[in-house]
Amino acid sequence: MRGLEAINTYIGKLEYYSIEQLRYRIRPGTWSIGQVYSHIVDVALEYLDHIEECSASDCKQSQGKTAAGDTLFNAGAFPPVKIKLPEGMEYSPNDVKSKEEHLQDLNQLLEKMRDSDKQIDSIHPDYKLRHGGFGWLNAREWFDLIDMHTRHHLRQLKEIEEYGAK
């Protein structure tokens, strides 16, 4: 199933990190590996909630994606660049979880993703919810966005590892 491969990659990598590596930051203001883990889980859970909202909808939405959304979905991936959130939207994910807590979060996420994937094909593709940057997305697109977002942050993990959190 789409989406699970990237989450499983995070699970596989988690085994090899020490708690010091999970909390290591390249420099002040950057994220640690643990923060990347918390972020991908938080965002995926938010997107799974959006799938539920699409499922509960009874109102078709004729509007589609923005130009950025079309570009993203046509490519099937985020571009290989760092993305800076607009002023006021930035946040600092949790940085105090243990390896066991991250593993538990990832396993719970996998279970929710499996459950969600079972219902997606039954949700009308015109039941959509608006994403601030990518426009109106249906349940399948929200699910695919989890995979694209999660894969995108694998690049960030690699960078942190290369700078000392090996």
Give 80-136 pLDDT, tens digit per residue: 877 766 555 556 787 889 999 999 999 999 999 999 999 999 999 999 999 999 999
Q: Which amino acid is at 34?
A: G
- What is the predicted pLDDT for the residue at 37? 96
33-56 vs 99-120: helix crossing angle, rounded to 10: 20
Which homologous superfamily is 4-162 in?
Answer: dinb family like domain (1.20.120.450)
Mean predicted confidence (pLDDT) in 45-55: 97
Query: How far apart are alpha carbons 76 and 66 in whole angstroms?
Result: 15
- What is the predicted pLDDT for the residue at 86? 56
Q: Where are the alpha helices (DSSP H) in the chain?
A: 4-14, 19-23, 33-56, 67-75, 99-120, 139-162
How does DSSP classify residue 164? Answer: T
Q: Where are the domains of the chain?
A: 4-162
Q: Which residue has the tokens 């995108």?
A: 152
N-to-C CA span, the chain: 30
Q: Which amino acid is at 3?
A: G
Query: How far apart are alpha carbons 92 and 84 in whole angstroms?
Result: 13
